[in-house]
Chain A
Amino acid sequence: MENLQILFDEVYTANYPKVTRLCMGYVNGDTAKAEDLAQEVFIKVWEKIGSFRKESSISTWIYRITVNTCLLQLRNTKIKTSANDKVLNNITEEAEENKLAYEVQLKSMYACINKLSKENKGIILLELEGVPQKDIAEITGYSHESVRVRVHRIKNELTKCVKQ
């Protein structure tokens, strides 16, 4: 039990920031919701850490739990896709007033990510986090080739959406 606690502490410290950042992509950049989701993720990690078999790397294992938790929790933190355009416009107007181009683009990016299907959302967020495509394939269950094609397509879709 003590060993598990030590392992969990290490895993938590090493992965909390990237898990939370990944969750941000699922909740349209809402920090509070992302932190709640991250806590849910680490609850699952704590419950399962004893059964971790090292068949994959610990970060791949955590990303699987993260993507699945975000998928599951969306029924509680649902953000209506139809409202996205409005959200995007409002965000853009607010941020433009503050002349923060960086924030405008980042928030536009979150709104555009939110428009993607749940699967594509997970894939592009993992890609943005710098997870190798081989690992993305392992996390999502798609073939490496399928992930490569999807990533290419989603990148174009996302860039086009942010440009608008």
Chain B
Amino acid sequence: MITFENLQAEWNNQPEFNIPEEGTKAITKKVSFLKRKQQITNIVLSITAIILIGFFFYVAAYRVNAAMYGLFLMIGSLAIRIGVEVLSVRKLRHLDMVLNTSVFKEKLVAYYKRRIKIHYILTPLAIIAYCIGFMQLLPVFKENLSSGFYTYIVVSSIVLLLILGLFIAKQIKNELSLLQELKTE
């Protein structure tokens, strides 16, 4: 006959965990490493943004045509989506872990609801803008590239779009199931 007291006794009888030697040093080291990594990411993103903005101004001053708009759309939609993702990850990292579990869970649920909105609204818009931009570039490719290479670009971009679509669908499914799990009492 199993009772909860048996389970409690077994739980208590589990072997003790050994405290890692120099465990605290490893932790402070990892914190410094994460901070450095964050700083490097910030620097890389800032430089990329500056280069992109500079590039836009440089190109806009010389040639404004459909192909350039296409390029702007492609780079712009990608840049916006990446920026939103970076902010989203940062927001999750800065959730206050000291809150009581109920409040923390509410914040986590709100976070995932926002993520779902991003997936359902912003991501499709970004993909559509990217595709429109790409299609505006196609005549330029056709004019300047061999027909074989042109076909390769068209086919590979469709395949990439499909793979990206599958990846996004998987991510949405995963986050929806996390949200569902968090909502379960």
Contacts and interface: CB of A to CB of B under 8 A. Distances in A.
A113 B12 CA distance: 15
24 contacts: A5-B28, A16-B23, A21-B17, A43-B31, A46-B31, A48-B98, A61-B98, A64-B97, A64-B98, A64-B99, A64-B101, A68-B95, A68-B101, A78-B178, A102-B10, A102-B13, A105-B6, A109-B10, A118-B182, A128-B7, A140-B100, A141-B101, A162-B2, A162-B7
Given A17-B17, A64-B100, A117-B184, A75 B178 contact: yes
Contacts of B6: 105
Interface residues of B, number: 40
A13 interface: yes
B183 to A, nearest CB: 9
A47 B31 contact: yes
A138 B101 CA distance: 9
Given A17-B16, A159-B3, A163-B2, A48 B97 contact: yes
B10 A105 contact: yes
Interface string B3-39: 1101110110110110110011011101100100000
Interface of B: 2-4, 6-8, 10-11, 13-14, 16-17, 19-20, 23-24, 26-28, 30-31, 34, 92, 95, 97-105, 108, 174, 178, 181-182, 184-185
Contact of A12 (B10, B19, B95, B185): B19
B100 A72 contact: no
Nearest to A123: B101
A12 B97 contact: no
A109 B10 CA distance: 9
Nearest to A13: B19
Chain B interface mostly helix, strand, loop or mixed? helix
Interface of A: 5, 8-9, 12-13, 16-17, 20-21, 35, 39, 42-44, 46-48, 51, 61, 64-65, 67-69, 71-72, 74-75, 78, 102, 105-106, 109, 117-119, 122, 128, 138-142, 155-156, 158-159, 162-163
B95 A72 contact: yes
